[in-house]
Amino acid sequence: MRELPIPEGVNQDDDATELLRFWLANGKPNVTLLLGMYEDAVECDVDELWA
């Protein structure tokens, strides 16, 4: 499996969060999304953030 490196500067940001991974495998797209990360943040409307 070939993984991409973490972009420069990301490791220096304490608030950096990986939200998405996308692969092409077995002839199909495969996607993983981080949903629900704002569950505890009352000031954030998840529907608006992902719209």
Tell which wins on pLDDT, 8 or 1: 8
pLDDT of residue 42: 64
Q: What is the pLDDT of residues 19-39, one digit of tens each?
A: 899 999 999 999 998 876 666
Q: What is the dihedral of CA 39, 45, 48, 51, to 10 degrees?
A: 20
Question: How many Å apart are CA 37 and CA 16, to the nearest integer?
Answer: 12
The ranges assigned to domains in the chain are 10-49
